[in-house]
A = this chain, B = another copy of it.
């Protein structure tokens, strides 16, 4: 049988791993940890004080992080009758959204390469930019298809 201590340790490890994923995606440390905590919450979400307690951070940090998470529509505020506190829950269907945003960068990069190619004189430089451009063009088209399939999948 598993001790309460071991259970707690496993939970912490999981929270860390999840938070690292979010950090990799580009979120600040604490913001990532908050999102992870919301993922692992027992119920539908957590209140500010619950987050403060679980992660051992200040309420100012929660406020700042939520500015980002709510602003990017990854998390939603909601109220619980009888409580004055703000509660937060993850929004559904955001993981696809997160990845989709990543892909959007591809077409920007293709654009940069394209512009540079038009400006540059040296044939050697132009050749290097062309390779970059071709690769990103390829992935840009592929990602469009992938996202289309993803959206179709979600409609079902």
* Stretch from A53-61, A79-87, A89-97 contacting the other chain: A89-97
| A116 lies within 8 A of B42 (CB) | no
Q: How many residues of A contact B (CB 8 A)?
A: 44
| A24 lies within 8 A of B139 (CB) | no
Whether, in the assembled complex, A77 has its beta carbon less than 8 Å from a beta carbon of chain B, the answer is: no
| A132 lies within 8 A of B39 (CB) | yes
Contact with B along A74-115 (1 / 0, CB 8 A): 000000000000000010110110010010010001001001
- From residue A16, how far is it (CB to closest CB) to chain B in Å? 10
Whether, in the assembled complex, A43 has its beta carbon less than 8 Å from a beta carbon of chain B, the answer is: yes
How many angstroms between the C-alpha atoms of A44 and B128 in the bound complex?
10
User: Copy number in this complex?
Assistant: 2
How many angstroms between the C-alpha atoms of A124 and B46 in the bound complex?
12
Whether, in the assembled complex, A68 has its beta carbon less than 8 Å from a beta carbon of chain B, the answer is: no
Whether, in the assembled complex, A3 has its beta carbon less than 8 Å from a beta carbon of chain B, the answer is: no
Given that A14-B115, A14-B116, A18-B116 are contacting pairs, would A153 and B138 also be in contact in the complex, using a CB cutoff of 8 Å? yes
How many angstroms between the C-alpha atoms of A122 and B37 in the bound complex?
13
Whether, in the assembled complex, A73 has its beta carbon less than 8 Å from a beta carbon of chain B, the answer is: no
- From residue A51, how far is it (CB to closest CB) to chain B in Å? 15
| B95 lies within 8 A of A21 (CB) | no
